[in-house]
Chain A
Amino acid sequence: MIELFDVHKHFKEPVLRGVSLSVPAKGIYALIGPGAAGKSILFKIIAGLVTPERGSVRVNGEEVVGRREREMMDLRRGIGMLFQNYALFDLSVAENIAFPLRRLFDFSEDEIEARVAERLERVALPGFQDRNPASCSGGQKKRIGVARATIARAPIVLYDEPTAGLDPVTSQKIYNLIREEQRAQESTVMVISSDVNGVLSIADRVGMLHKGRLIFDGTVDEARVCPTPEVNQFVHGLTEGPL
């Protein structure tokens, strides 16, 4: 479970203004909102990569804010992450996916190989072990990222814009993959996305950030009939409105 209370973050301007939300365990929480709403920063705050000026962030009951970097390292072992820009290293696909296992755990090479092969099968990229991510398409890189984010079977998985720049068919395949992975591993998943239709098709709950504030938090059905003008416009993709 992920809980945020009154989280504030400034850079040159305020990015998050008192965000409070709760991501229930073993479900998918979609965080939507227009560009520059503060979604990615919130994602990094949850993982302890960025420190807020004010507020509290609890992951599985443990406070994140104020932890020293070394203490954060222990907490991050339980969090899988997919980054918007893939964050794949200049290594082979297999080495990228196996990276968390080799660095954080004590698995034998045979087990690592088997797990990598299983992950690649799962994300529909069998035989990609020796390829370099640079030679893969955007969709393939996202799938490699999903495989890496889930290989350690972390109880919490965060996905930042998992379908940015992808065509609708590939996007929906990625969302379906996220849903299947969540069900298979019974993990708590948070997906940040600007692709409303796609992400709402798999989400259990949804929140909307706008100008650093959480202006909606509820179920997908509630989001579709929300009277708040910004939420209504964003969820239905209307051109007329306050956004």
Chain B
Amino acid sequence: MNAALNIPYRMGAALLLIADQTGGIAIMAGQVVRRLVPPRIDRYELFRNAYRMGVQSVPIIAATAGFTGALMVIQGAPIVERYNARNIIGWSAMFTTFRELGPLLIALMFNGRVGANNTAELGTMVVTEQIDGLRALAIDPITYLVVPRYLSIAIMMTALVIIGDFVAILGAMGMAWGILDVWPRQFYYSAMPMLQTWDFSVGVIKGFFYGNMIALTSCYFGLSTRGGAPGVGRSVNASVVAAASGVFIVDYLSTFILH
């Protein structure tokens, strides 16, 4: 192909691919909603997935949140020291963590751990004919596999943001005490008067939207896997990139709306 035409050709192909994948994710969202009204949920699968996706993610999410809170204090420490503004360190660290960085970093970590694993599992089930096996046994794969995973990821992501917020407070408190000599009590009272419930709620709402994005993207890429074991690798890669991109887009839009 002519080199001059190659660039628009590739751009067009990429746009078509994105449109195809976005449409596929939207269709999957519709299929999930159809099975939720009225609810047709495999409760055993729901609790099993909630445990392994949510409960087992608590340590890594807690570590992420703890470090995020601590980092906010480290970043703010030079300014706080220069202007002797110790009475705002709690608020500045918690405001940015609650509204933005906490949910965002937790979502990216959750996407890496749970989203990638979910895609790999579903992709492996496709290439080993387990999905066909379910259909052959007259079992709808969306009801049995996707709906419990979707609910588990969306609900547990929201819960993990709430847990992460509290761990982030502890991380920030510890760091403020360590490097700025701000006692936890002082840190608490520097944050609470200025923080609003809405600051906390914004992060939780964002967490729910991120969870939806990760759930639908990881399930879509898993179930659209083709081409054996290498195909599973490609799907996992595409899923992680697409879900992370989606999280940033959702973040951008929700920040505008929830500001």
CA distance A98 to B131 in the complex (A): 17
Interface residue? A128 (CB, 8 A): no
Among candidates A69, A79, A99, residue contacting B140 with C-beta atoms closer than 8 Å: A69
Q: Are B128 and A86 touching (Cβ within 8 A)?
A: yes
A44 within 8 A of B: yes
A74 contact from B130, B138, B139, Cβ within 8 A: B138
Interface residues of A in 93-108 (CB under 8 A from B): 99-100, 103-104
Tell me if B137 counts as interface (CB < 8 A to partner A). Answer: yes
The one of A79, A83, A103 in contact with B129, judged by C-beta atoms closer than 8 angstroms, is: A83
Q: Is the CB of A81 within 8 A of B138?
A: no
- Contact among A73, A77, A89 for B130, CB-based, below 8 A: A89
Kindly identify, within residues 33 to 76 of chain A, every residue whose CB is under 8 Å from any CB belonging to chain B.
44, 47, 49, 69, 72-74, 76
Instruction: Output the residue of B128, B129, B136 with the most chain A CB within 10 A.
Output: B136
Most buried by B among A76, A83, A87, A99: A87
Q: Which of A81, A84, A85, A86 contacts B136 (CB 8 A)?
A: A81
Report A-chain residues with C-beta under 8 Å of the C-beta of B140: 69, 73
CA distance A89 to B44 in the complex (A): 15
Pick the contact of A49 from B127, B135, B139 — CB < 8 Å? B135
A83 to B134, CA, bound (A): 11
Chain A neighbourhood of B128, CB < 8 A: 85-87
In whole angstroms, what is the CA distance A44 to B129 when docked? 11
- The size class of the interface chain A forms with chain B is 20 to 34
A89 CB contacts on chain B under 8 angstroms: 130, 133
Residues B23-74 near A (CB distance < 8 A): none
| B contact residues around A73 at 8 Å (CB) | 138-140
Contact indicator B138/A49 (Cβ below 8 Å): no
Contact (Cβ within 8 A) B129 A85: yes
Whole-angstrom CA separation of A73 from B139 in the bound complex: 7
Contact yes or no, B137 A49, CB < 8 A: no
**Considering the chains assembled together, what is the distance between the CA atoms of A81 and B132 in angstroms?**
10
Contacts of B137 in A (CB 8 A): 76, 99-100, 103-104
Query: Please, which residue of chain B has its CB at the minimum distance from the CB of A50?
Result: B132
Question: Which single residue of chain B is at the shortest CB-CB distance from A75?
Answer: B138
Task: Give the Cβ gap from B209 to chain A, nearest Cβ, in Å.
Answer: 30
- The 8 A CB mask of B130-154 against A (1 = contact, 0 = none) is 1011011111100000000000000
- CB pair B138 A87 closer than 8 Å: no
- Contact: A47 with B136, CB < 8 Å? yes
Least distance between A89 CB and chain B CB atoms (Å)? 6
In the complex, which residues of chain B have a beta carbon less than 8 angstroms from the beta carbon of A44? 132
B139–A103 touching, CB < 8 Å: yes
Question: For residue A88, which residues in chain B have a CB less than 8 angstroms away from its CB?
Answer: 130, 133
What B residues does A49 contact at CB under 8 A?
A: 132, 135-136
CA distance A127 to B138 in the complex (A): 28
B139 contacts A79, C-beta separation under 8 Å: no
A103 to B137, CA, bound (A): 8
Give bound CA distance, A86 to B137, whole Å: 14
CA distance A84 to B129 in the complex (A): 8
Which residues of A sit under 8 angstroms from B132, Cβ to Cβ? Answer: 44, 49, 83, 87
In the complex, which residues of chain B have a beta carbon less than 8 angstroms from the beta carbon of A100? 137
Q: How many angstroms from the CA of A44 to the CA of B164 in the assembled complex? A: 47
Q: With a CB–CB cut-off of 8 A, which chain B residues contact A79? A: 136
Q: Give complex CA distance A197, B182 in Å.
A: 82
Which chain B residues lie closer than 8 Å to A83 at the CB level? Answer: 129, 132-133, 136
**CB neighbours of B133 from chain A (8 A):** 81, 83, 87-89
How distant is the Cα of A74 from the Cα of B140 in the complex, in angstroms? Answer: 12
The closest CB in chain B to the CB of A77 belongs to B138
Distance A21 CA – B133 CA, assembled complex (angstroms): 24
A107 to chain B, nearest CB (A): 15
Please name the residue on chain A nearest to B42 by beta carbon.
Answer: A103
A73, B138: Cα distance in complex, Å:
4
Q: A87-B132, A103-B138 are in contact. List 5 more A-B contacts (CB 8 A).
A: A72-B138, A76-B135, A87-B136, A89-B130, A103-B139
List residues of A whose CB falls within 8 A of some B CB: 44, 47, 49, 69, 72-74, 76-77, 79, 81, 83-89, 99-100, 103-104
Which 5 interchain pairs have the tightest Cβ spacing? A87-B133, A73-B138, A87-B129, A76-B138, A83-B129
A-B contact pairs, 5 of them (CB 8 A): A44-B132, A76-B135, A76-B136, A79-B136, A104-B139
